Amino acid sequence: MRQTSITTLALTFLVLVICHVQAVASGAIFPGIEWLDTQSHPINAHGGGVMYHDGVYYWYGEYKGEFTYRSPGVGWDCYRTEAGGVSCYSSTDLCNWTFEGVVLEPDTTDTHSDIHPTMVIERPKVVYNELTGQFVMWMHIDNYNYGKASAGVAVSDSPTGKFRFIEATRPNGQICRDLTVYKDDDGQAYLFYSSEDNSTLHIALLSPDYLSVTRQYTRNFAGQFREAPAVFKRHGKYYLVTSGCTGWDPNEADLAVADHPMGPYTSLGNPCRGQDADKTFYGQSTFVLPVAGTDQYVMMLDRWNKRDLITSRYIWLPFDFDGNEPLLPWRGVWSPAAANAQSSPLGADKQ
């Protein structure tokens, strides 16, 4: 038995190494496979989002601790790790990612801080504000039982930090949990967040400096319990992907469309196609990444492992389009347009 176990572990390690080498060599993405950075360490950027700035993609995500535990006295499956802050990785081809460090560090000195390791820091998203020249990060801030339900904001003069935490508040006095930020072509930015005990999705216009919400907001999918929002724009239409509320367990995604980022949104149903489409390929939406200079849009999903959160995997898949309707078929391996552009002078010019 001992020899068999050693052989199995060796083969597993060999498969992971081969997958990483193949990804580097071919400019390919393998959804659901452990993803290594350029130093051959597992990427630790969960619930994340990607910002494209000056020819570089920056991937921000939750920096998970190694120890997963369940919050005591909480009725639902409240598995979590100590809040490790927000990590950042950089890439020019979307396949090979360099670790830039923990760009928002937890506050280990003040036990009352909103970003103390005992708190929750989830779903960080970063946008650049041309008016102020600052990079603005929004994130879900919570406590051990998810009762704080607030949105936090931080700023930096550089995409790789360090980011300075400003505050955590409830937007317009409303509960805020899963969130994302969308910046439109006109420079206006919007905060999408699950509110009203997760039963309704709110969309609020941000202030010109992106550091606070305005009083202008809309209520969407009232009573439908949608979370994990991810939004993108194509051909003048705004598309919003959400998941149902089933804790860490997967469920069926929904895609909705609108003529304005604040809605109203009309559901188009589940965009996923193929085996396990009804479980969103055992993933949950976090962000839709438009590939610069192309008509390719990448759905970023987290495949959560609730009992060992640091080992949760990433599922990145490109949308297909049936006319203007986005569809998300499963692919075991695929190459992003950005990776192809690296080997083509013409493609590079388009970036």
Kindly report the CATH number assigned to the domain that includes residue 329: 2.115.10.20
Q: Which of 70-84, 141-155, 168-182, 229-243 has the least mean pLDDT?
A: 70-84
| Mean pLDDT over each residue of the chain, to the nearest integer | 92
pLDDT in tens, 93-114: 999 999 999 999 999 999 999 9
Q: Which domain holds residue 55?
A: 2-350
To the nearest whole percent, how much of the chain has pLDDT over 70?
Answer: 90
* Domain count along the chain: 1
Q: What is the pLDDT of residues 24-83, one digit of tens each?
A: 445 999 999 999 999 999 999 999 999 999 999 999 999 999 999 999 889 889 999 999
Percentage of the chain lying above the pLDDT 90 cut: 87
pLDDT at 10 over 60: no
> Sign of dihedral through CA atoms 337, 341, 343, 346?
positive
